[in-house]
Amino acid sequence: MIEIDGSRGEGGGQIVRTALALSLATGQAFEIRGIRAGRGRPGLQRQHLASVAAAATVGGLTLADVEGASLGSSRMVFRPGSPRSGDYRFIIGSAGSTTLVFQTVLPALLGCEGPSIVTVEGGTHNDMAPPFEYLDRTFLAALRKMGARVEATLERHGFYPAGGGRFSARMEGGPGGEGTLALKPVDWLERGALTEGEAIVVGSRLPDHVFSREAETLRKLLGWPASRIRVETVESAGPGNVILVDQPAEHAGAVVAAVGRKGRPAEEVAKAAAAAWRAWAEADVPVDGHLADQLLLPMALSGGGRFRTTPPTLHTRTNIGVIRHFLPVEIVLTEESDRRWLVEVRGRAEPAG
């Protein structure tokens, strides 16, 4: 039984999700204590339980089979079943992040024999979670370069607090259940020249002036012509807004996002998106800080790989600690400059136990 301290490092729900994903993919059970101990609302919350329930379902279990899987619980024991490919539908029942739930079960399903379809309903564009476009055009694009066969489709936008969004993804497992470990190690060391990008102001059920103010602020801060900035109004269960800066590059592009929320001026949302874009563009690295977090797990399962990124966050360092519990990999962080770090994953993708 792997023992994990849920209060260490960043101390958030990602520790639970990373442990669930690795447990399913490697077949190792774990016990986690001190879940979100330092947060204002400690313990498992509804959005975390949605990931636990999804992992249990893919492993042929129910939530009742998971010890401590209850609202507010600070301790949980997860004993994974055998992951199975299939047609799965997960309804979060709130604006909880659909993308985070999906990322919890994706590695195991890529390791199953046969195709799977996963549909998730809830929040598709949340603050503090990857929006759908980032999942599709940045994270899944990276996995496809590693050999994963997975495609995702946004069916309905879901903003906080109403939720009601939905997306589906189809993936092909590997023959004989070797899909996850068959991901090939890759190197992302150079970004290359930036090509012509696009900024998209997406919104629903808000006054038109909110979108025009965001678009004008983006135009000034990015220095782009108005033709590269567009407004897209969508249908959703409630009001919401997200700014997406889709920046292709010669070798590795990125989608930068900023999510609007009640009480946050339109200009501030645009400033946040522009600042995030500029930080990544000026660092001249192929992998942004968010993708660095998300790439570590599939790279560890593939047995290796390297990438350059911005300075590692506490979130990244915490993820490294969780991965080391499950896999005998060495993850080395090397500072090359104040803006560029090299991350190297070395080892064999076999369970640490």
**Given pLDDT bands bounded at 50, 70 and 90, which one contains residue 350?**
low
Q: State residue 352's pLDDT score.
A: 52
* Confidence band for 181, pLDDT divided at 50, 70 and 90: low
Q: What is the largest CA-CA distance in the chain?
A: 57
pLDDT for residue 179: 45
What's this model's pTM, rounded to 2 decimal places? 0.93
Structure tokens at 230: 């567009």
Q: Which residue has the higher pLDDT, 46 or 175?
A: 46
Helix (H, G, I), strand (E, B) or coil at 336: coil
- Predicted local confidence at residue 175, as pLDDT: 57
| 66-114 tens-digit pLDDT | 999 999 999 999 999 999 999 999 999 888 999 999 999 999 999 998 9
Domain boundary assignment for the chain: 1-47+55-82, 198-281
- Report, as residue numbers or ranges, the catalytic residues: 315
Model confidence at 203: pLDDT above 90: yes
**CB neighbours (10 Å) of residue 142?**
21
User: Does the pLDDT value for residue 178 go beyond 50?
Assistant: no
What DSSP string describes 68-118?
T-STT-SEEEE-------SEEEEE-SSS-BHHHHHHHHHHHHHTSSSEEEE
Residue 265, number of CB atoms within 10 A of its CB: 13
Per-residue pLDDT band for 285 (boundaries 50, 70, 90) equals: very high
Give the tens place of pLDDT for each residue, 215-267.
Answer: 999 999 999 999 999 999 999 999 999 999 999 998 888 899 999 998 999 99
pLDDT by residue (tens digit) across 109-134?
999 989 999 999 999 999 889 999 99
Superfamily of chain region 198-281: RNA 3'-terminal phosphate cyclase, insert domain (3.30.360.20)
pLDDT attached to residue 303: 87
